[in-house]
Chains A and B, each alone.
Chain A
Amino acid sequence: MQNPNTDRELILNAIRQNLPQQQVEHPAIPVFARPGRPLKPDFERNLQEAGGAAHDLKSPAEVQAKLEALHPGAKVVCSAVPEISGTRRAESVQDPHELADVDVGVVRAQFGVAESGAVWLTQEDLVVDGLAFLSQHLIVLLDPEQIVPDMHEAYRRVQLNETAYGCFMMGPSATADIEATLVHGAQGVRSLNVFFLPPV
């Protein structure tokens, strides 16, 4: 028997005493009709709306060139993907504080969501969670075939039982806390670029 005077038991007992008479069923979530158009342009438009940008690239060499063109002054490039070696491997990072000097982080997302332009990234994709937040800029590789239409479909793909951290990221860090003026790079990354490239 649980001690009835712990906060846990006090709360659960109070809830049981106060449960509304009415019992409401869990509703079924229907499959909603979706516009039949291709998903990639929607994804790109919504990503742009969120302050990000998407680029079609054909090879790891093009990825490297694009990275350099976007971030010419970058000294520390920390990569979690095999396509880009970077100046530092994410796997070599022991403690997230080591990421404080990273200019550009490079990661691969599992899939994107057309209705928002968000990408799904997990702890395994980031290797170190902090890579997506302490880096000044983020580059996200994405297979253009891996775009789902909406959040209902997105949640059929996420496996929360398999990762301690997962995030839908929609563009870079943003704030509108001063006079409702949109500013990117509030605390997290200043820019987020999605590179369309299937995995090797």
Chain B
Amino acid sequence: MGSAKQVDPAVAAEQFIIRDKVHEPMHDRFLWAVMQRRDREAAAIPEWEELREIASQIKEHTLTHLDRYLEEFEANATRRGAHVHWAVDAAGHNEAVHSILRDHGVTELIKSKSMLQEECGMTPYLEHRGVKVTESDLGERIQQLDHQPPSHIVFPAIHKTRQDVAQLFARTIGTDPNHDDPHFLTEEMRNNARPRFLAAGAGMTGGNFAIAETGTFVVCTNEGNADIGAAVPPLHIASIGIEKMIPRVEDMGVFLRLLARSAEGAPLTQYSSHFTGPRKGGELHIVLVDNGRSRRLGMLDFWHSLKCIRCGACMNTCPVYRRSGGLAYGATYSGPIGVILDPTFDEFKYSELPFHSSLCGSCSDVCPVKIDISDQILKWRRVMAQKGYLPFAKRVSFAVAGHVFGHPEEYHAVEKIAEPAVAHAPHFLLYNRSLNPWTRDRELPQLARQTFREWYLANRSTHAKPEHRS
């Protein structure tokens, strides 16, 4: 571990902000609007908080019995005619996929969005071996054509303007560079992608949930692109992280009521597709991937991050993410969830990420499965400080930290027992905003403060000795 260079998100964020007066404010505004829609949808469901609690418990139950549920899922999926493969890491996943494609003589692949395939670096791996890979999700395709990773787990190209896309399409698929209407651009891509769907020898998807009881996996999209990939080519390969298990069909009601409302402020995504064994006339392969997840399960302070359903709400609500853009994190996962996931892949490389946060607590507040995100960010800071990975610059902003926590005396007490690292905040991201993130919900600073206080009270006796084990 630690061969790669450290990522410096603050410098990258600065680049995003000073680039021009268009990109960063637009990014901020769009994601803020998504957040407001999410808040409206959540407020319209009286049992919203109860659903979050149940979802959290279902995930914790599943993760504390994960071996059993994986075996049950495998048995049921196999009984229904799917081929189930297991991969300990990214290399194993990519090899498994490539060997399935090779066995079927497939040279053209159409894929829908999968953060796991992104995490595994699958596309470059397959392309080096002569497989033509086309992203079918519009945002992912934009990013693929621009040779960039997705900047957001739900809206991959949200950091780009329509002019950026028009110029990219002009360069890559030959459209008029001055025609930047999103309807026109979407239509051009539809027409460009359709022959690829029809020519592809295989379709690949991810999986948002895997139901042990029936061996089903569920894929949620808005474009229907995953379904075309599954319904048209004869071969369907799905990559699924082992943490995606849920026990029973009835649990899905809870998760689908939460997912799209949290992600985009809609009751569902346009398509919630359930695959149980191969379709009529088709063949189905499922690759179950660990890639560090079983290890994460053993990290006392961090295993709850495995509950994540990848809704992106923590990113949309995060004042630091909204101003930085996702690419600033230099990792597969960005925003608050990225801050707590990425270091589990490489502590040194991502040692700066936990400091790219204001610790306002808003992420924990909106997370549909109640992950203690901001507490984990703080714990990661302590891990980094323990390991001697001190934050880069002297970006210590006592003023901001005091502003966040409200009570200077409490803050100073914390500062004494915790590492000085706790005091770091990317303050240049938090000043002079027209959308004041702290007033989004008047209860928010209160909640953040409580969470922080609880942590402080619980840890005071152990004198802030990290419980992290890996």
Contacts and interface: CB of A to CB of B under 8 A. Distances in A.
Interface of A: 6-8, 10-12, 14-20, 22-27, 29-30, 32-33, 46, 49-51, 95-97, 100, 115-118, 123, 128-130, 132-134, 150-156, 158, 160-161, 163-181, 183, 185-189
A174 B256 CA distance: 18
A152 B253 contact: yes
Given A11-B242, A175-B186, A188-B227, A97 B198 contact: yes
Nearest to B143: A177
Given A96-B232, A187-B136, A164 B268 contact: no
Given A14-B295, A18-B298, A129-B279, A188 B223 contact: yes
Nearest to A28: B54
Given A16-B67, A26-B61, A129 B230 contact: yes
A155 B253 contact: yes
B214 A177 contact: no
B240 to A, nearest CB: 12
Contacts of A158: 249, 274
A161 B66 CA distance: 22
A97 B197 CA distance: 9
Interface string B40-72: 000000110010011001101101111100110
A29 B249 CA distance: 12
Contacts of B231: 96, 128-130, 132-134, 165
Nearest to B47: A32
B389 interface: no
B309 to A, nearest CB: 15
Given A134-B228, A177-B157, A160 B249 contact: yes
A12 B251 contact: no
Contact of B61 (A27, A129, A177): A27
B254 A29 contact: yes
B290 A132 contact: no
A11 B297 CA distance: 12
A22 B59 CA distance: 13
Given A160-B276, A180-B30, A24 B61 contact: yes
Given A116-B268, A118-B272, A177-B142, A26 B58 contact: yes
A31 B223 CA distance: 32
Interface of B: 26, 30, 33-34, 46-47, 50, 53-54, 57-58, 60-61, 63-67, 70-71, 80-81, 85-88, 92, 136-139, 142, 155-158, 160-162, 165, 182-183, 185-187, 190, 193-194, 197-198, 211, 214, 216, 222-225, 227-228, 230-232, 242, 247-254, 256-257, 264, 266-281, 288, 290, 294-295, 297-298, 300, 303
Given A11-B290, A18-B295, 14 more contacts: A19-B66, A20-B300, A26-B248, A27-B54, A29-B251, A49-B266, A116-B267, A129-B231, A130-B228, A150-B257, A155-B250, A160-B274, A175-B138, A175-B222
A33 B264 CA distance: 25
B255 to A, nearest CB: 9
The 8 closest A-B pairs by CB, nearest first: A188-B224, A18-B298, A177-B139, A116-B267, A14-B294, A129-B231, A186-B223, A178-B182
A185 B187 CA distance: 8
22 contacts: A7-B85, A7-B88, A11-B290, A12-B71, A15-B242, A18-B297, A19-B66, A25-B57, A26-B57, A49-B266, A155-B253, A161-B214, A163-B276, A164-B81, A165-B279, A167-B273, A173-B271, A176-B264, A179-B160, A181-B182, A187-B136, A187-B197
Contacts, number: 266
Given A160-B276, A179-B161, A187-B223, A15 B297 contact: yes
B224 A187 contact: yes
Nearest to A30: B50
A160 B256 contact: no
A179 B230 CA distance: 28
Contact of A177 (B87, B138, B224): B138
Contacts of A175: 138-139, 186, 222-223
B161 A27 contact: no
Contacts of B267: 46, 50, 115-118, 170
Contacts of B256: 151, 168
A50 B231 CA distance: 23
Contact of B138 (A26, A151, A178): A178
B442 to A, nearest CB: 27
Contacts of B275: 164-165
Contact of A188 (B85, B162, B225): B225
A185 B182 CA distance: 12
Contacts of B53: 27
A32 B253 CA distance: 12
A22 B250 CA distance: 24
A165 to B, nearest CB: 5
A50 B268 CA distance: 9
A26 B183 CA distance: 45
Contact of A178 (B33, B185, B227, B273): B185
Given A174-B222, A177-B155, A164 B182 contact: no
A89 to B, nearest CB: 16
Nearest to A126: B231
Nearest to A130: B231
B350 to A, nearest CB: 21
A20 B288 contact: no
B448 to A, nearest CB: 25
